[in-house]
Amino acid sequence: MRRLIRPTAFVDSPFGHDGKVARLAGGLCWFTAVELIAIDGHTRSSSELVPVDELEGRLDDELAAQWARLTRERPQLTLGSRTVRFDQPQVMGIVNVTPDSFSDGGQFADGEAAACTGARLAEAGAAIVDVGGESTRPGSKPVWEGDEIERIEPVIRQLASAGVAVSVDTRKADVMTSALGAGARMINDVSALTYDSRSAQTISAAGVPVVLMHHKGAPETMQDNPRYEDVVVEVYQWLEDRISAAEAAGIERSRILVDIGFGFGKSVAHNLELMNNLALFHSLGCPLVVGASRKRTIGALSNEAPADERLGGSIAFALKAADQGAQLLRVHDVPETVQALRIWRGLKDQALTPRA
């Protein structure tokens, strides 16, 4: 029977706890215990809380490999002339050059407006600006590659020429190629390289980082009563398989990031369960991307607030993710999220300051 490791019992700092705490993925989160979870097929069958200082004798080869991935520092990303370090949470700003995205579709009348918005997000503190030309919201329809390229290419070219680290949000190899030619230096694929059979080779040949996001079903139907035996285990196993497939295609693990796919083929309960167990996913050994900004779950928990009135919920999810060591937060509201993370970082810094 296989077991998984979920860090828990977090503390503000390691001081005074020698040998009793571990650092999560080289970041600013420390934990004093783990939940050893036994899984049977696709479900959790039992669990046991084990203090960190008692764990060493409990690790078989597989658990030892997980432990090494959990505690290993995440390598920095080099995106053109920009470097993104993951010793603290970073922000990825969203620019949707689409007429129908759930939150900001149709907001940008032309590429110039979108590029100006992307530049403002970078100035406000976004380490990466993610540009997309196809909505993958629930119920959306696929967009022809030519239209997608026409929407994003001038935006990416203008942002990249200004020194902004740009990611492209696409699942199509031809769009990836065009975006990389325009200056994008990272691929964010909501299909995790399953939509276009040429995508993995395109990314491997380019040597750029890629975000592999979990999804269940196509955007047109993914929210039609999604079901799981155990959403946490199934998403973990699916991402594990996609990492292996990416590596087999020649993409180095150091260039792979993973995303739990908040809202992509998941109910409100599924989304909340994944967020509560986010720390488990660090044992995949890749930086975690979380994109809960303005999502439908926030509306469901706050009197059906519309997408443009979900800032408070978006910040709550961002801080929940930061507290569990997530490295990259994909958000619409960059200045507000950056400010929240600065307060979060201030609290961490104070806890790490030796008392006089």
Q: Which residues are catalytic?
A: 295, 330
- For residue 284, what are its two tokens? 């995949």
